[in-house]
Structure 1
Amino acid sequence: MGPGEILPYAAARHPDKIALVVGHTRLTYRDLDRMSDAVAVALRTRGIGAGGVCSLYGQNSWEWIVAYHGILKAGAVVNPVNVMLTGPELAFVLTDCGSGALFTGGAQAATVESILAEVPSLETVCQFGDLDDSASVTGAISFADLLAAAASEPLDSRPRPQPEDLCSIGYTSGTTGHPKGAMQSQQSVLLNCALTATMHGRTTDDIVVTALPGAHVYGNVAINSTFLAGGTVILMERFTPGEALRLIEGEHATLFEGVPAMYSMMLADPGFDTADLSTLRAATIGGQTFAPELLARWQKRAPVPVLELWGMTELSGLGTTHAVHAPPVPGSIGVALPGLEVRIGPIDGTSGEVPIGEHGELLVRGPLVTLGYYGRPDATAEAITDDGWLHTGDVAYVDHTGHFFIVDRLKDMIVTAGYNVYPAEIERVIGAHPDVALVAVGGRPDPVKGEVAVAYVVPAPQAQLQPEDIIEHCRGQLAAYKRPREVVFVDALPTTSSGKLMRRKLGELDGDRGIVRAR
């Protein structure tokens, strides 16, 4: 069984149950199964089947979900693409993986149009929504027409992939050069959904609200682990805090899934204090560290388990998380998923173990680990050791109970006057300030110290915050070498499509609301 069997499995058990809600569209498991069958038939009619690569480039939508499962049912390899990619970035990804078909949204039509001539392998373009001359891709077929043409033809057979067969190619957002395509196996994608559903206790009664992008592995697992359990997914096209709170209340959600920035924005929303969150049984949070004070404020209104987690594209989703009924360990990313080996190795990349409680690099081995990087045996050999350990690039430590704690990304570490400074530690402290809505910390070159830490702060609404307040707030909680040397007020922070901070772009921000340098 591969992930292409998730919808048939659920539809056989819960055919008339609402599976997916996007805006005003509500679809049952039977609807999703039949429509994804039609996509598979249409792709096969166009000669796209086993081994062919099909790309998805669009905002969250019901069409995106149907296309994803249709691609898998056709036996093809799915290539979920970050919707934030520019034309040249999109052209690279499609060319690199040899994509033969592209499903895209109307809002992305101009970008796709601009790169068509650069991707000779691309023979089919299918566009979600209505086609019109001002916002359509030349030669594209509409998704509605594609479904209508194939709806009457049964899917004669479904592929029976082997566990190690290629299922998905997900491109990493590399900090330098071109991104790399992490190849996921059928086993990895399905097993991650199954293990996540198990650890989080998902059932047919669950109603999950999320704005996580389907193209991101966290979003993919949040959606498909819920389908696997027979629950209902309330999928937001894009995140807005007021709408998220309204959906949790109005849909009687049992789970909310998001990244720290989403929680921070909901906490700062005027409607947070009156929103009814009483139906929630748990919430998940991943992507980056979350200040304990903010977590406490959330749990005052929703006193349920907050399941912090960690994962990466190279694992098809989660690598660690908390079991929903286990005692909470705040600040921890949890324990290894069943069957996955996780340990702490030396930061310098050498072999060996690091003692409990000491910082090192998080290493992972097991059936969730990527098959390698598409067309990049050099990068694969650099990331995965001969005995199967994946170097994650995350600095972490483990306690005596086997719970892991992320310190920061190894590449984000700031070396100031010989000291190692981790931005996430500073962010946790500053994020606890009551007048701070969002914060990110990056490094800036310094002629004396090599690098210094700079804090980029989004003040809470109506806050009368001064840069000096941030410096003073850090004084009693951080050693002198860890404190930010500059504070820059900004209106927004650069994030990925999943809401994760992009520290490498912090230096591009203009400090139009005040800068102070610490002495």
Structure 2
Amino acid sequence: MLDRILYEAARRHGDRPALIDGAGTRTYAELEAVSAAVGQALLDLGVAPGDRVGLHAFNSWEWVAAYHGILRAGATVVPINALLTADEVDFILRDCNAVALIGSDDSLARVADATTEITSLSFSAFADLKPAAPLQPSLEPDAVASIAYTSGTTGHPKGAVQTHRSVYLNMALTATMHGRTDRDVLVTALPAAHVYGNVAINSTLMAGGTVALLERFEPAAALESISRHRATLFEGVPAMYSRLAADENLAAADLSTLRACTVGGQTIATSVVEEWEARTGAPLLELWGMTEVCGLGTTHPLYAPNVHGSIGVALPGISIRVATFDDDAIEAAPDEPGELQVSGPIVMHSYHGNPTATAEAFTADGWLKTGDVATLDRHRYARVVDRRKDVILSGGYNVYPAELERVVAACPGVELVAVGSASHSDLGEVPKAYVVPRPGADVDEATIISHCRAHLASYKIPAKVAFVENLPTTSTGKLLRRSLGELDV
């Protein structure tokens, strides 16, 4: 199913450009040939159907080829954020029992200590791979396609088990809602390892369009790419649009070919949406999604009214509801805040090897509890009000306080720590650590941040550290994170 997307696209659009990056342009036929060779190489290395294969690198054409190559071998893709440290990558590889890891030379070198017990395949070896054997039979829709890791509230990553049906449908429904065609050119810097980026890329390839993939986001480079490739679509998180709007190159950029843009990852100010739409003449469609729904859960249909401040409506065939806080089986009244829940074939199967977390994620009647506070109006348009849990959304990345607390607490001289958030003009919010030092300890902000850099991805590192005498707690001694702001007064 999912393993045939690139194969079918190459059959229909072989000589058309599929992917453009800093290394040049790859046609559908060229991308498919490398993907097939990667799949054969994995089979030759002894990778069996269902085995887990990690994919760890920044955006590139090789990442996309490797993703489809893993699926071609009948294996399960484990996308790994390129910013994670060796310790974090090691946990993921061990948790899912990965048998191999594919990545760039640089990414594999950074995590060398985590790959001593498994096979590694570098992007640099792709040119020497032999042609592929005949296409493997398409896997069953309910076979596992991917295990995508998302941090849990305990601070330990959880692997969302995604089936071929779930991921395929999310891509297909996204393409349908946004009206993607073989005439589209998408420019994006969204990480391919994240569900938003993965769906943006592959829903475009599914439709036969062209993806201009940026390794990382830089406003000037994004504007230049939109102009040079005459992009019809741009997709990003709110911070990207804020930085684009403030960039000195915006006035001279040719954005006239854009027909639509999307934004997700966190809420975006209506003023930013209006400013971008005024500059481009294209609708900026808000969407909502999460790893546990394999990508998008809601968005705006391209030709329907674009309701600013709303995350849109459910994808076709998918159900959403807002449940009361008192009873998660009772739907809240229109415009009444409650917890957003999702049901349908895009929802993950489970958390890998974690039946307790899986049970906690679903209601008794089978709806996924998202943890987001939202409202639903009488037209079934949803709005996200806040987050029910303490997740910090920083520039589109999920940062979980418990994970930071676990790392900071291990720093010499730290007695107690709690992590909250501080507002940020571009990123929305950033993590802030509140630390109670041990008596007589010589610990400062630089020491703590340096310690974090050795154990955490860059976007998780606290932007600020405040030293306090005590932390707010409940009567049972549990940290009261919602009261951390009072320490700043």
Question: TM-score surpassing 0.5?
Answer: yes
- Give the alignment of 1:39-118 within 5 angstroms: 39-117=38-116
Distance 1:327 1:350, change over 3 A: closer
Q: Distance in 2 between matches of 1:500 and 1:194?
A: 33
Alpha carbons 1:335, 1:403 under 8 Å: kept: yes
1:356 aligned counterpart, secondary structure:
coil
Q: Confirm or deny that 1:196 pairs with 2:195.
A: no
Change beyond 3 A, Cα 1:18–1:98: same
**Correspondence 1:456 to 2:423:** yes
Question: CA 1:373/1:12 → structure 2, altered by over 3 Å: closer, same or farther?
Answer: same
Kindly indicate whether the alpha-carbon contact (under 8 Å) linking 2:261 and 2:282 is maintained by their aligned counterparts in 1: yes
Report how far residue 212 of structure 1 moved. Answer: 0.6
**1:369 equivalent among 347, 358, 364:** 347
Corresponding residue for residue 489 of structure 1: none
Establish whether residue 143 from structure 1 lines up as the match of residue 126 from structure 2.
yes
Report 1:287-436 matches (<5 A).
287-348=265-326, 350-412=328-390
The Cα offsets for residues 240-296 of structure 1, whole Å up to 9 and x where unpaired, read as 010000000111000000000111111111111221110000000000111111111
**Aligned residues of 2:293 and 2:347 also touching (Cα < 8 A):** yes
| Alignment partner, residue 231 of structure 1 | 209
Q: How does 1:249-268 map to 2 (within 5 A)?
A: 249-268=227-246
Equivalent residues of 1:288, 1:500 under 8 A apart: no
TM-score when normalising by structure 1: 0.77
Structure 1 Cα separation of the partners of residues 338 and 143 of structure 2: 33
**Residue type of the partner of 1:101?**
A
**Helix, strand or coil at the partner of 2:204:** helix
Taking the aligned partners of 2:245 and 2:466, their CA distance within structure 1 comes to 24
Structure 2: how far apart are the matches of 1:401 and 1:40? 46
Tell me by how many angstroms 1:3 deviates: 1.3
**Counterpart contact for 1:213–1:219, Cα < 8 Å:** yes
Structure 1: how far apart are the matches of 2:426 and 2:262?
Answer: 25
Equivalent residue number for residue 476 of structure 1: none
Is contact 1:261-1:500 (8 Å) kept? no
CA contact (8 A) 1:287 1:500 kept: no
Superposition deviation, residue 43 in structure 1? 0.9
For 1:99-118, what per-residue CA distance to the aligned partner results, in whole angstroms no more than 9, with x for missing partners? Answer: 1110122222333212234x
Once residues 17 and 253 of structure 1 are traced to their aligned partners in structure 2, the CA distance between those partners, rounded to angstroms, is 15
1:126 aligned residue: 121
Answer yes or no: is the 8 Å Cα contact 2:243–2:426 preserved in 1. Answer: no
Change in CA separation of 1:354 and 1:112 when aligned onto 2, cut-off 3 Å: same
Unpaired runs of at least 5, structure 2 = 402-417, 428-451, 468-486
Q: Determine if the alignment matches structure 1 residue 243 to structure 2 residue 221.
A: yes
Contact map agreement 1:258 1:284 (CA 8 A) in 2? yes
Unaligned runs of 5+ in 1: 130-141, 414-422, 432-439, 443-450, 461-493, 511-516
Q: CA offset at residue 157 of structure 1?
A: 3.6
Structure 2-normalised TM-score? 0.81
Task: Give the Å deviation of 1:61.
Answer: 0.9
8 A Cα contact 2:53 2:75, kept in partner: yes
CA gap of 1:352–1:31, structure 2 versus 1, over 3 A, is same
Structure 1 residues 229, 79: CA separation in 2 closer, same or farther (over 3 Å shift)? same
d(CA) in 2 for partners of 1:321, 1:49? 37
1:136-215 mapped onto 2 (5 Å cutoff): 142-145=125-128, 147=129, 150-151=130-131, 154-215=132-193
Distance 1:89 1:349, change over 3 A: farther
| Whole-angstrom CA distance in 1 between matches of 2:115 and 2:424 | 40
Measure, in 2, the Cα distance between the counterparts of 1:209 and 1:92: 32
SS in structure 1 of the partner of residue 371 of structure 2 = strand
**Does the 8 A contact of 1:74 with 1:159 survive in 2?**
no
Cα 1:454–1:61 change in 2 (3 A) is closer
Q: Say if 2:86 and 2:113, in contact at 8 Å, map to a contact too.
A: yes
**CA shift at 1:158, angstroms?**
1.4
Task: Find the aligned partners of 2:324 and 2:389 in 1 and give their Cα distance.
Answer: 15
CA shift at 1:386, angstroms? 3.8
2:255 counterpart of 1:277: yes
The structure-2 alpha-carbon separation of the partners of 1:509 and 1:25, relative to structure 1 and needing over 3 Å to count, comes to farther
Q: Deviations over 1:32-61 (max 9, x none)?
A: 111111111111111113111111000011
CA distance in structure 2 between the aligned counterparts of 1:452 and 1:103, rounded to whole angstroms? 34
For 1:198 and 1:356, the matched residues in 2 are separated by 27
Aligned residue in 1 for 2:20: 21
Aligned to 1:36: 35
More displaced stretch, 294-303 vs 235-244: 294-303
Check 1:223–1:351 CA distance in 2 against 1; reply closer, same or farther (3 A cut): same
Q: For the Cα contact (< 8 Å) 1:456–1:506, is it kept in 2?
A: no
CA separation in 2, counterparts of 1:59 and 1:175? 26
- Size of the aligned set, in residue pairs, is 424
Return the letter of the residue paired with 2:126: F
Distance in 2 between the 1:69 and 1:314 partners?
A: 21
1:452 Cα shift?
A: 13
Which residue type is aligned with residue 127 of structure 1? S
